Structures are given as structure tokens and as C-alpha cells.
Amino acid sequence: MIVPSQIYLDFNATAPTRPEVIDAMAEAMRAGGNASSVHGTGRAARGLVEEARRRVAALVNADAENVVFVGSGTEANNQVLRCVGRPRPIISAIEHESVLLARDDAIIAPVHANGMVDLAALEALLAGTDGAVLVSIMTANNETGILQPIADITRLAHEYGALMHSDAIQAAGKIPLDMASWGPDFLSLSAHKFGGPQGVGAVVCRDRSLLARFVHGGGQEGGLRAGTENVAGIAGFGVAAVGAQAGLEQFAALGALRDTLERRMAELAPGVVVFGHDQGRLPNTSKIATPGLSSETQVMGLDLAGIAISAGSACAAGRVEAPYVLTAMGVPEQLAVCAVRVSLGCTTTGDHIDRFMVAWRALYDRAHSRSATAAE
């Protein structure tokens, strides 16, 4: 749960569950029913699942029949990477670990120092594999928020006969997604990133026949994901998708708060580095490094002050090494270990930014004072 008294600035890890989602899930749980049963109660449960399928499809401008519900965003990524039937996928060096670790034979495409995928290098890799591969490039990076040109990458992949997958988990609900015009063969989604429940995700396909099952057993999800459907979670997913789509304009306005935060930090500490500041980014995401002020110190110090941020991906919690995303961008380790991620959301206000700055300035001043004392 989100601690009520805490200023929550870690929306990229998970978003607070929307109240209407909780209501929809509670109603579905009270109603009960197995969506694969043919009696009236089962048909009512099936109706909730299919309505959610239509709603999730609308969020990404796809056909509802091509939405496959799964147990998480990680499962969605794993299913595409492992069940498409193409040899040796090409993935970028900054993918989420659920893509990076899904296959041990993946070919890694480099990124530029600005966090953008090196398209020339990607094309050379495609040419060297005769295109008979799967390309997987994320829509938005979960740590830096940097956006990749998915439509352009998809066209390039298709020119070489490759299939294209994009992990859109961090982007969904934050920016408009258009599978129909961008043209990828697969998108991965996760409900909890935009106010839905944890433990439910989706693979959205251009053509379901291109995907094989990952979880074996029954014939649920058209044979592509065995197991009794999580009716309540799927219903909540659909309600969250509606809310996220309706709130895209409001979410875009968070860019002004993000820019204010970055400007005030830079004014206070001129050495601050904002990664991807000159690139298209998610409007809510700042990846910021302050030389001499470790990420661990910032995360722990701000937590004690009642403010929640992170050092990077929640899936890499507890690690102290330099974040691999920044390493792939060529960021020196001594700077990378000073980076934190501040991700805003629907509850973020200007007062929250003010209070963040008060607490962060106290940390910075203490570190600066210690450095000055040590230099004497």
C-alpha cells in the first residue's frame, strides 16, 4: 500500500490503484464465477473479461481479439521473447530485465550516449541475420523515461523481414500509444503501471497466430495462456485503461512539474546531471545524478523525510552497483551510482515538489559541508 503520510514520487515502480478499479474488482469478486464456465454465472464473468479486452485494446488502438491477458508485464515480455519462434532476438542494451534475461542468446543493440537506440548499428545487425529474427525495443525506458521511435524501428525491422516487439509497459497510460499506425507485431502491457491491479498484464498482437503459448494446461485466452482467468484483476485492468486514456492530457501536464523540479535542483547544485533532458521523455520521469551524493543516501534520506523515490527499477531493488541503463549510455560509474529516479503521477502537486526540494536540499547541504570539511 502507499503510506498515506508519504509524498509518493515513485510512480514508475507502481501507480496507486484507482478507486474505481478497486470498486470494479470488489464487484467482480462478489459476483464470482469462472469465465470458462458455460452457465449464467460463468457467462457473466466472461462478459467482464471481454469488456476489459475491448478497453485495453482501445488504450493502444488495437483489435480487441488480439489482446491476450497474462499474469504480469514480465510474463508478457517473456512470452513474446520465448514463444515467437524466431532465432536469436535482437534487443537493446537498455531493455527491462524481463527482456534482457528472457533469452541467453540475445544479440544486444547498442544505444547512443543520449539513450537512443543506435539505428545504424541495429540495421547492421538485421542485415547480418538475414532479418529472420525478433527485434525487441522498449517504447519508454523505465529509468530515464527516454522514448524510442517505435514506428521507425518497426519499419526498419519489417524491411528486413524481422518481427517487432515493444515493451510498452512504462509508456502505457502516460503517452498516447497507437499500435495500428506504429505497426509493431507485439506490445507488452502491465495494469499496475497506470492504476490497475498488480499481477495482470497483456500481450497485444498484430496477428495471434505469430505467438505460441507460454503457460501450458487449459485452453484459456484462445489457447495462448492456460489457467483460470483472473476475472477481478482483468476487470480492474479494463477500468484502469479507461481512466488512463481519459487522463492522458492531465498526465502530459506533469512535464511542467518535472521541469520545475529539474531546474530547481540544477540551480541549487550546478553539477546535477539530468539524463535524457534533450530527448523526448515521459512527462513524469526524471533520472538525476548529483556528483558526490550517492543514490542510496538520497533514497534513504528522503524516505526518512517522508518522500518516496527510487534509485532505478523496482525489479533491481537492493543493488548498489551502477545501474546498467546508465552504464549502457556510457555514464561513468562514479556518476551513475549517484543517480536517482523521481517519477511523478496523478497525485503530485507543486507543494510536493516544494517539500521534495526542502528535504533534498538538506541532504545536499550536509554532503557539501562534509566535502568542504574533508578538503580543509
CB-based contact 131:349 (threshold 8 Å)? no
CB-based contact 153:137 (threshold 8 Å)? yes
* H/E element, 107: strand 107-109
Return the residue matching grid coordinates 568542504.
372
Number of neighbours of residue 219 by Cβ within 10 angstroms:
11
Cell of 139: 517504447
Question: Coil, helix or strand for 89?
Answer: coil
What is the residue-wise DSSP string for 17-53?
Answer: PPHHHHHHHHHHHHH---TT--SHHHHHHHHHHHHHH
Name residue 117's beta-bridge partners. Answer: 111
Cα separation, 249 vs 372, whole angstroms: 45
Active site residues: 315
Query: Which residue in 209, 221, 183 sits closest to 67, CA to CA?
Result: 221
Cell of 211: 505467438
Could you write out the three-class secondary structure of 331-358? CCHHHHCCEEEEECCCCCCHHHHHHHHH
Cell of 70: 497474462
Gyration radius (Cα) of the chain, Å = 21
End-to-end CA distance of the chain, in Å?
46
Give the CA angle between residues 95, 240, 165 to the nearest 5°. 30
Name residue 310's beta-bridge partners. Answer: 341
Return the residue matching grid coordinates 478497486.
22
Cα separation, 277 vs 114, whole angstroms: 9
